[in-house]
Amino acid sequence: MTTLEEPRPASKSNLTKERILQVAAELFARNGYDATGIAELCNAVDLGRGALYHHIESKESLLFEISMRHMSAMADRSEELIALDLPPDEKLRQLSRLLLRMIADSRPEATVTFRDARALSTDRASALGKQRRRVEAAWQRLLDDGMREGKFRPIAPVVMKGLWGMHVIAYRWIEPDGDLSPEQIADVFCDVLLRGVLTSDSQS
């Protein structure tokens, strides 16, 4: 008789690594990557230097892993959404809501990703850039589909950069439980955006 295996509990080592990543993101976001030292991180996670380096390669490797996780998750979710069978204007609204919610719910990680990634070495910065370009490509595909279907008017490629940028900068101020939810803020953004990109026939 076939039996289902019980899910294996996360190892202590894995739990410790996750804790280090979480605390590092919070410290980097609050104090800045450059201003956060290994000693401060050791104190925050209650590990000696030797024990900390058992779980990590370097401070930069923490910055890279935090940033890659956040950007890769954004890219994966964006691509999944763009593949849905929805009108382009609804996809734009849903993508805006998705990205602002992800930034609000993971604000330390978003802050580190968008503000501090400049400190990464060339190879790591390049790897992170590939993930960022996946999100940008999702925005561009959305705009291209809207134009092809006659829903959006012709839009200069630079508009995609502006759309992406206005969402990224939200790490500075957005709150998951603020007066307006991330989704409500996204709807405000999109109400303005769609008036600018919809054709006159679509707005009637």
Residues 6+ away with beta carbon under 8 Å from 40? 27, 31
- Where does CATH 1.10.10 sit in the chain? 11-56
At 38 the three-state DSSP class reads: helix
Does position 162 have pLDDT exceeding 90, yes or no?
A: no
- By percentage, how much of the chain surpasses pLDDT 70? 89
Residues 6+ away with beta carbon under 8 Å from 29? 107, 108, 109, 111, 112
| Dist CA 42 CA 48 (whole Å) | 6
Residues 6+ away with beta carbon under 8 Å from 95? 78, 81, 82, 138, 139, 142
The CATH architecture of the domain made up of 11-56 is Orthogonal Bundle (1.10)
Q: At the fourth CATH level, which superfamily is domain 59-203?
A: Tetracycline Repressor, domain 2 (1.10.357.10)
pLDDT of residue 178: 85
**pTM given for the model:** 0.86
Share the mean pLDDT of the chain. 89
Q: Are the CB atoms for 202 and 89 separated by under 8 Å? A: yes
- Where does CATH 1.10.357.10 sit in the chain? 59-203
| Dist CA 174 CA 101 (whole Å) | 9
